[in-house]
Amino acid sequence: MHKVAIVGRPNVGKSSLFNRLIGRREAVVADFPGVTRDVKEGVMLYENHRMVLMDTGGLWSGDEWEQAIREKAEMALHDALAVIFLLDPREGLSTADYEVAEWLRRLDKPVVIAANKIDSPLHEAYLAELWGLGFGEPVPVSAEHARGLDTLMERVLEHLPTDDEDVPEIAPIRISLIGRPNVGKSSLLNAILGEERVIVSEVPGTTRDSVDAEFNFAGQRFVLVDTAGIRRKPDTSIEEYSMQRSETAIKRSDVIWLVINATDLGDHELKLANLAYESGKPVIVVVNKWDLVPDEDLKRTTKDLDQKLFHISFAPRVYTSAINDYGIHDMLAEAMKLYAKWQSRLQTSELNRWLEIWQVRQRVPNFHGKPLKMYFMTQAETAPPTFVIFCNRADFVTRAYENFLHNRIREDLDLAGIPVRLVWREKGPYKKGKKGEQDEEAPVKK
């Protein structure tokens, strides 16, 4: 797909325009500059043209991130076929605007000037100054009110070749990297992509929004999502919104990489593990910075992991180092394996054969001489695998026995590493009511 980049100085509305064009709120928007630092991508469809739209950080910001943001934007523009240069003419052209214009001329890319915040024809008088930048006629737009977007895209399409690319039929595996701030999520993403795609800094909270990156490995397409670090208690409103965006990314994912700093294990890992587990997605515990653990501390560190992550002990672990690329391929291979299991469907006959074996292997709960009877088992859903067991009394099912069945399902049905769900239904399949009709189903216990 063809790529189009949105560039400009801070706080001119690049993320607002990005969200409006792709039709959903993907990028964080705030009333102060410097929110976007990395390059964020989103696929948009306009009149049968599929393209990748890129939202870049504010250029010539004048802060400590200026150089890093410009480097990432320049890498993004390397593959872009057109550039939308967004300006706020109501504030007048600033020195930063002229610097960005000169930078774009050196890159020699087709540029379309978009004048944002032109909410009505009365504001078009502000456009005159923009002609002096030398990029032709500016297009008046309003990202907030969706004004002038068709004209803008028509100008952009003039610089794009005919879109005759076949759309891939196989959807990519979407993987989110979650973890506390500064555990190395961005470093791992850069190591996998083989390029400095996102900004890496020792300052916690550098990544403020979820960043998507497409990647191919062993013939499989991936979308890797670098999320903002999830704190126990957000310090600012932007951190709180970034955390919400991270939680949304988890819900949209197929596989989750829970990234942990091997040298700094905390109680917050427990909350993150719960968040990942409750999503119903396969979870891979990525123990990063493993190269920094001294040999004499390896056993102790492993024991700490076992204790803190006991409730998701079924989740596979991968030990990595973003510095020397150790374990990177293992992360991707494990994700492919779990994704296939997550979407697998088992035959009913096989499930019921195992159900009989499990009842022999472990005595069923018995209350006052009345045992739990399990009549039938079937798989109702995939992703995550959800199994329905028909029984005589759902309230006879104890937590210990349900945990036993969860473990047996993962081990005997080759679903290791996959969160599975059990649904209990009180229904005797051989019980007949009046006129040969079956009794109504009792409430479901999940």
Binding-site members for GTP are: 8-15, 55-59, 116-119, 179-186, 226-230, 288-291
Residue 427 tokens read as 């229904």
What are the Cα distances from residue 335, in Å, to 187, 234, 253, 255, 396?
Answer: 18, 30, 12, 7, 37
Q: Which helix (H) or strand (E) holds 387?
A: strand 386-391
Identity (one letter) of the amino acid at 242?
S
Please classify residue 28 by burial: count the beta carbons closer than 10 Å to its beta carbon, then call 0-12 exposed, 13-18 middle and 19+ buried.
buried
Q: Which residues define the annotated binding site?
A: 8-15, 55-59, 116-119, 179-186, 226-230, 288-291
Residue 12 CB contacts under 8 Å (≥ 6 apart), including other chains: 58, 86, 87, 88, 116
Residue 14 CB contacts under 8 Å (≥ 6 apart), including other chains: 6, 7, 8, 36, 55, 56, 58, 86
Q: Would strands 386-391 and 374-381 be described as parallel, antiparallel, or unpaired?
A: antiparallel
Q: Is 435 left (phi over 0), alpha (psi -120 to 50) or beta?
A: left
- Distance, in Å, from the CA atom of 131 to the CA atom of 115, rounded to the nearest integer, reads 11
End-to-end CA separation in angstroms for the chain:
44
Query: What is the chain's Cα-based Rg?
Result: 27
What are the Cα distances from residue 227, in Å, to 138, 161, 324?
Answer: 35, 33, 22
Quote the DSSP letter at residue 190.
H
HSE (CB half, 13 Å, CA atoms) of 261?
A: 15
Cβ atoms of 287 and 319 within 8 Å: the answer is yes
